[in-house]
Amino acid sequence: MSEHSPGTDLRRSAPPLIFESGSPGRSGFFWPEEKGEGGEKIPSELLRDDIPGFPELGELEVLRHFTRLSHLNYAIESQFYPLGSCTMKYNPKVNEVVARLPGFSSLHPLAPPELIQGALELLYELEEMLAEISGMAHVTLQPAAGAQGELTGLMVIRACLRERSNPRRKIIVPDTAHGTNPASSTLCGYEVVQISSSNRGMVEAAKVAEVMDEEVAALMLTNPNTLGIFEKNIQEIAEVVHKKGGLVYLDGANLNALMGIAKPGDMGVDVLHINLHKTFSTPHGGGGPGAGPVGVKSFLRDFLPVPRILKKDGSFVLREDFAKSVGRVRSFFGNFGILVRAYAYIISLGSDGLEEASRMALLNANYLRKKLEGAYQLAYPEPCMHECVFTDRLQQRHGVATLDIAKRLLDYGFHPPTIYFPLVVSGALMIEPTETENREILDAFADAMNSIAREAKEHPDLVKGAPYTTPVGRLDEARAARKPVLRWEPAKE
């Protein structure tokens, strides 16, 4: 047993619930004295009836309670986030400073264009930057998330094909594509045709040719795919699709592996979306706000959402008079504060910095791949891009599963990687270190993972009983999902 292997006797006891604390009559503030009509008495309509069992606490108790809860939150500022497919990279604070400049943060969305020239210039330049980075001709910043970007891109494709008198009815989606692709296709009214990847984890052009016909509107390809592998056949695949009159859509969720190195537009891609939170370091998680800009080749320009920002005689104007446009997909100009952060990130790194960021993401992922490949079974032998995928096959021999490994990792102070995804890999452990982590962190994470692999051989019951150092132990996750307790009720006498 390693020095980091606490037993069940060291399980941290959970602190009392807030409802179990306090004392009747205790308070952190003073109510005004009751007075007659017209005095300072709190109006009765602003008072609620007593809640049975409601805790009565002093100010310090409340402060400590919420401070303790805040420490239970996990954040990139506190520890490494190895979640594969998520790109939980650090958001530089300079982005936040720029987004909070009064000229941006206090800007009213209904202000006329002549009074917001600076903001329009920023958006215009960001569109040009993203177009250059992705190799596309035009970009819209309106979509509020990657999934809405997918839907917007498909709407553009549909509008283009409808103008050609054949909107078509099918979308090809490989099993290694991003998980939202089938949902976006269905929302846009398409029938999804799934194809399988090869035993090397890539899509073969011949497999696409088998299902490609005049009813296929587009192929939605993720590159690098969700296995962390670069689709080497993408140009050949694009040629197969284009010969039949279809378009190629690239899910740009993993652009962090290509940024500054390769351009999807040079690979035969017609449409793509970009997840700004995954590649361009804007806030990630918490339900938003987000941004999923969409880039297109020049022949699709007129179908982009409105309003569009145009530069005319040195000024920036908003135009909506595009008859072929798919219309508005978001109010105003998209999530403006997020776009400002992405702009700041690109400007601060510059072209050389963006390329270095991608190369470091690739280096870090392959470094972890080599550090762990002896202890865990690699899902595919191909060199990885920005993330690597392992399986629990070796640990299953001792009755230890992926979930056990993830839970045990909590005892070592690390957030677990993405588990059981992608679905094409049984017992998947998907790890993405991003470029923002240093070697010391990667070594510590690899040491913890390797230690757990040894524990799985020598003390499998220890791993299966984890975690031991968290406020609560192993939860019944199925029951929690099906029968969540959403409201506290006092114990009945």
Stretches where the chain sits below pLDDT 50 are 1-3, 7-9
**Coil, strand or helix at 433:** coil
Output the pLDDT for position 53: 82
Output the pLDDT for position 1: 45
Strand duo 294-296 + 138-140: pairing: antiparallel
Contact 148, 269 (CB under 8 A): no
- Measure the CA–CA gap between 328 and 63, rounded to whole angstroms: 45
Contact 342, 126 (CB under 8 A): yes
For residue 216, give every residue at least 6 positions away whose Cβ sits within 8 Å of its Cβ, in sequence order, or none: 168, 170, 171, 172, 193, 241, 244, 246
Q: Determine whether 442 is exposed, middle or buried from the number of CB atoms within 10 Å of its CB (0-12, 13-18, 19+).
A: buried
Domain boundaries, the chain: 93-348, 353-482
**Coil, strand or helix at 299:** helix
For residue 258, give every residue at least 6 positions away whose Cβ sits within 8 Å of its Cβ, in sequence order, or none: 223, 224, 264, 358
What is the model's pTM?
0.89
Write down the CATH number for the domain with range 353-482.
3.90.1150.10
**Coil, strand or helix at 251:** strand
Write down the CATH number for the domain with range 93-348.
3.40.640.10
Output the pLDDT for position 288: 66
Output the pLDDT for position 8: 46
Q: What is the helix (H) or strand (E) element at residue 149, kind and residue range?
A: helix 146-163
Output the pLDDT for position 181: 95
End-to-end CA distance of the chain: 46
